[in-house]
Chains A and B, each alone.
Chain A
């Protein structure tokens, strides 16, 4: 046994191990690079944009990609490149908002369900079954239509539909952890439910939730774009990828760049998050870490 000085506190997250894991999976690096690229470009959109995203230029309508307009222009002469940069803000913000909201609500409900059990558990889980029993896109459409067409309502609708996945995940984990001997040991010195929740159940559910969240980011961005595409998400004149693809569809035969570039942005971002999410799952998997 190697002796370490007792005063040195080990960092909670092992950076060296993290780097080692990254090296072993090149796809995660690709995903991480893609995500980082998108985030930087979108956050610093004002720096990278060449035009005002909503500035109309009727002399340059539906212009093909040139040095002035990298990705061409739309039917009222707005610069598509700049609109993609700004539009990404909407899509990605929706992604994070949805994952945060669904993850938080789902974790709380799932932990309560698993920890308390009995009638509380039955009520929560049957409610989740109801949500799950309806096809999610149909439910999102109904919710978004009922709440009224706007990006924030679309995000809420998506979040509601995603909650059951987190509830099931956390409940399952809570049921496992609840039966572990260390929780029984905590019972022997009379730890309360809150203590067990805070110190035993939540720390042991966090990594699956993070993995699920990272994987969800990609599909949420896709869903948000889909809602905007059918007109239930972002409203004109706000730039948003799904909405841009939708309007561009009318011109797809002659002006491929109109829906082509926003579509590629969606594809690129979703792929990036999915690759990264897969990598995070592999890294946080305790069975791998145990070796």
Chain B
């Protein structure tokens, strides 16, 4: 399994700087660019070893695009993604191949994440086969069994098909599959959003245990502030493709600065009616569209430092 490598701890595992990802909208006979989706606009953050950074924000704010860009599934327009100090944007195919082994992903829908016609064993072995991990079939099968045990499932499940498992079990199998290549960074894209609350807790505990055991870093993408408060070491709040506030968990939850962060926090349900705030502003308005005309020049306000670990973007006017 992954060892904590003896790199100097000062250097973060993943550094993302000024990342911009846009998608061209083409239409018409000649495919002229009619507009652009400014999905990720000048985003910078970093993740330390064995640290969990939560990326929060509502649907369509660019969280998943960040994940896809970090995985190099989408091409960034500009910016830099450094992994263990090594630049991966525009890197050679070999560097990328090695890099991809170290970053794996878990998706939202556990029911679509496993091929219904592959046994669990085959699904777990698949990444090893694709990446050309050496070893016999038997060795891979043993590794697959180990992975299953790691996510608290039994070896006896190896030869079953996905339809025999519940949502939470499937999500754990997906986590096992993501661990098959011994990654250093795990991206969980809304990985618990479609599970019910008790199962959510199970999967979150599993992720935290794995982090403690293997020392992997987590990029935890979510819209659920309650879940984030539980897993995250640091939190980045996204709005319309930008990070509007980033800081350690305590600062964000106890001292939110940006009005959008406050709104997000106000939307967390409170079980006790007496502790429920009297007047809370719920978010009812639609998130503005990120589609812009092709000649649009984005304006970005500077970040203001609140404390050593807490930054917030200036606002143009009270939102």
Contact = CB atoms under 8 A, between A and B. Distances in A.
Check if A and B associate.
Answer: yes
A167 to B, nearest CB: 21
Contacts of B158: 6
Contacts of A250: none
Contacts of B114: 182
Contact of B154 (A3, A10, A204): A3
A182 B107 CA distance: 9
A130 interface: no
A291 B201 CA distance: 28
Interface stretch (A15-23, A33-41, A189-197): A189-197
A188 B126 CA distance: 12
Given A203-B118, A204-B116, 6 more contacts: A5-B156, A6-B145, A6-B159, A180-B115, A187-B73, A189-B104
19 contacts: A6-B155, A8-B159, A9-B159, A10-B119, A180-B115, A181-B107, A182-B115, A184-B107, A185-B113, A185-B174, A188-B104, A189-B101, A189-B131, A190-B97, A190-B100, A203-B117, A204-B116, A204-B117, A289-B163
B115 A189 contact: no
Interface string B145-157: 1000000001110
Contact of B115 (A4, A188, A190, A204): A204
A290 B161 CA distance: 11
B110 to A, nearest CB: 8
Interface string A196-213: 000110011000000000
B36 to A, nearest CB: 21
B1 interface: no
Given A188-B100, A189-B181, A190-B97, A203 B131 contact: no
Interface of A: 1, 3-6, 8-10, 180-182, 184-192, 195, 199-200, 203-204, 286, 289-290
Interface in B98-135: 100-101, 103-105, 107-109, 112-119, 123, 126-127, 130-131
Contacts of A1: 154
Interface in B171-199: 174, 177-178, 180-181
A190 B99 CA distance: 11
B281 interface: no
Given A10-B160, A182-B112, A286-B116, A191 B126 contact: yes
A1 B105 CA distance: 28
B55 interface: no
B156 A181 contact: no
Given A190-B131, A204-B117, A185 B159 contact: no
A186 B113 CA distance: 10
Interface in B48-79: 71, 73
Contacts of B159: 6, 8-10
A190 B103 CA distance: 11
B115 A199 contact: yes
Contacts of A182: 112-115, 123
Contacts of A289: 163
Contacts of B117: 203-204
Nearest to A179: B112
A1 B160 CA distance: 12
A201 to B, nearest CB: 10
Contacts of B119: 10
A189 B127 contact: yes
A8 B156 CA distance: 9
A186 B104 CA distance: 10
Nearest to A200: B115
A189 B178 CA distance: 9
A192 B101 CA distance: 15
Contacts of A184: 73, 107
A3 B112 CA distance: 25
Contacts of B112: 180-182
A185 B160 contact: no
- Which of B73, B101, B156, B177 is most buried by chain A, counting CB atoms within 10 A of its CB? B156
A185 B107 contact: yes
Contact of B130 (A189, A203, A286, A290): A189
A290 B165 CA distance: 11
A9 B164 CA distance: 15
A9 B156 CA distance: 10
B293 to A, nearest CB: 26
Nearest to A182: B115
A10 B115 CA distance: 17
A9 B119 CA distance: 11
Nearest to B128: A189
Contacts of A290: 163
B152 to A, nearest CB: 12
A4 B107 CA distance: 29
Contacts of B100: 188-190
A191 B130 contact: yes
Nearest to A180: B112
Q: Which 9 A-B pairs give the minimum distances between C-beta atoms?
A: A181-B112, A189-B127, A181-B113, A203-B117, A181-B107, A188-B105, A182-B115, A191-B130, A6-B155
A180 to B, nearest CB: 5
A8 B155 CA distance: 12
A20 B173 CA distance: 30
A203 B117 CA distance: 7
